[in-house]
Amino acid sequence: MKSFLKVDPDSQFPIQNIPFGIFRRKPDGKPRAATRIGDKIVDLSVLERKGFFSDLLPEDAGDFFDLPELNKFMGSSKRLISDVRRRIQKLLREDSEELKSDEALLRKTLIDFDECEMLLPASVGDYTDFYSSKEHATNVGIMFRGKENALMPNWLHLPVGYHGRASSLVVSGTNIIRPKGQTKADDEEKPQFGPSKLLDFELEMGFFIGKGNNLGKSIPVGEAHNHIFGFVLVNDWSARDIQKWEYVPLGPFLAKNFATSISPWIVTLDALEPFKVKRQKQDPQVLPYLKSSGEWHYDINLEVSIKCANCNDFNVISRSNFKHLYWDVCQQVAHHTVTGCNLRTGDLLASGTISGPDEDSYGSLLELTWKGTKPLNLACGETRKFLVDGDVLKITGWCEGNGHKIGFGEVTGKILPTN
Ligand code: CA
């Protein structure tokens, strides 16, 4: 499939991708829904108004794309979402005349990416963070409890997770203010209060819930994929010193509630279909309610880089892959709802830090520097144990297709000093 629009072969947004997001024209245009192809934003509200989706979207239901969030569209049936995405591809195809030959319409529909600002794609009611990478859980376990007790006894039996904070979800590019809090060093008697000294990132991916479930009604593992709208990149910023002091016995609280950054484009399951891979074998066998086909894992390359305040270039510090996760997304949805907990359209469920098997594939500075004992030597000459003010952290992710890439763009954030 090829578009009549010129798309660089290295672009993460060819016609095969067609992700969904919310944009506005800089500086203060009205937020609306869009997709992206190459360096162009495609304003979906213009196409909707022109009637290109009128046979697909329900009559008298009002606008789907002239809105500041994607929730209404995300909560539609899987079939409708796939049909609309295919219609957009058809309109952009090189052998399709409807859009290509209408210059006035093209001028209204296509906007240069540089002229736009991306916003959060959805209104997120609840955010849940899992802990689904065996390598990450093992590394952290070894650091804090020793090799013998690295994995907690529950870890291989259920996807461990916690309820995060939705109000502090921010879109890529938002500055991150260093949090303050209580910390206590091992050799100190009392806790202290001040700026976190061990500020870290967490390389994660997350997925948005499309159609939700009613309270009291679980989503079976075999149907979970029908409730997933698509994926984004996630950076779950973490204050390790605050976390270490506060986490017993209920888990992280303030160490993770000050900001979580996501990439702006939601890449659909349809776009990721060609990149499915088998999940690693789960041993011991999981309980029946968690038994999934194991084909809900994806081969997505992930890369983390850092730019120091005085540098012009990013230094790559980790290369990982989504496929390393132990628990898959359908198991996460089934486990989350097995009690009857209701997921709602727009809820975000994140994977937990995605660490690979090798030292240069770890998904946090905690692991990359082994608690700060092995500082990273950056190509620019600086060293890092944890993030310092002025650092910009960037995560990118993409799938390698046949002659094209399907990507997520990036999620970035710059660390600013404590207020
Ligand atoms: Ca996390």
Label residue 355 by pLDDT band (50, 70, 90).
very high
Catalytic residue among 136, 227, 324, 404: 136
pLDDT of 60 over the 90 cut:
no
The confidence score (pLDDT) of residue 337 equals 98
The confidence score (pLDDT) of residue 96 equals 94
CA–centroid distance, 197 to ligand 1, in Å, is 18
- What is the average per-residue pLDDT within 72-85? 97
Mean pLDDT of the chain: 96
pLDDT of 78 over the 90 cut:
yes
Residues 275, 255: Cα–Cα separation, whole Å: 34
The confidence score (pLDDT) of residue 310 equals 87
CA–centroid distance, 131 to ligand 1, in Å, is 7
The confidence score (pLDDT) of residue 227 equals 98
**Strands 297-298, 276-277: pairing kind:** antiparallel
Amino acid, res. 166: A
Task: Report the percentage of the chain scoring pLDDT > 70.
Answer: 100
Residues 258, 291: Cα–Cα separation, whole Å: 35
Task: Report the percentage of the chain scoring pLDDT > 90.
Answer: 95
84-117 residue pLDDT tens: 999 999 999 999 999 999 999 999 999 999 999 9
Residues 354, 361: Cα–Cα separation, whole Å: 9
With H, G, I as helix, E, B as strand and everything else as coil, classify residue 222. helix
Per DSSP, helices labelled H in 207-253 are 240-246
CA–centroid distance, 221 to ligand 1, in Å, is 23
CA–centroid distance, 82 to ligand 1, in Å, is 30
User: In three state form, how does the secondary structure of 83-132 look?
Assistant: HHHHHHHHHHECCCCCCCCCHHHHHHHEEEHHHEEEECCCCCCCEEEECC
CA-based Rg of the chain, rounded to a whole angstrom? 22
Cβ atoms < 10 Å from Cβ of 8: 11
The confidence score (pLDDT) of residue 134 equals 97
pLDDT of 294 over the 80 cut:
no
Residues 119, 170: Cα–Cα separation, whole Å: 9
- What is the average per-residue pLDDT within 144-166? 95
pLDDT of 278 over the 80 cut:
yes
Q: Among this protein's residues, is 136 annotated catalytic?
A: yes
Label residue 390 by pLDDT band (50, 70, 90).
very high
Residues 136, 115: Cα–Cα separation, whole Å: 39
CA–centroid distance, 195 to ligand 1, in Å, is 20
CA–centroid distance, 235 to ligand 1, in Å, is 8
With H, G, I as helix, E, B as strand and everything else as coil, classify residue 365. helix
Label residue 21 by pLDDT band (50, 70, 90).
very high
Label residue 380 by pLDDT band (50, 70, 90).
confident
Q: Hey, what domains does the chain have and what are their CATH numbers? A: 21-119 (2.30.30.230), 127-416 (3.90.850.10)
- What is the average per-residue pLDDT within 305-309? 97
The confidence score (pLDDT) of residue 52 equals 97
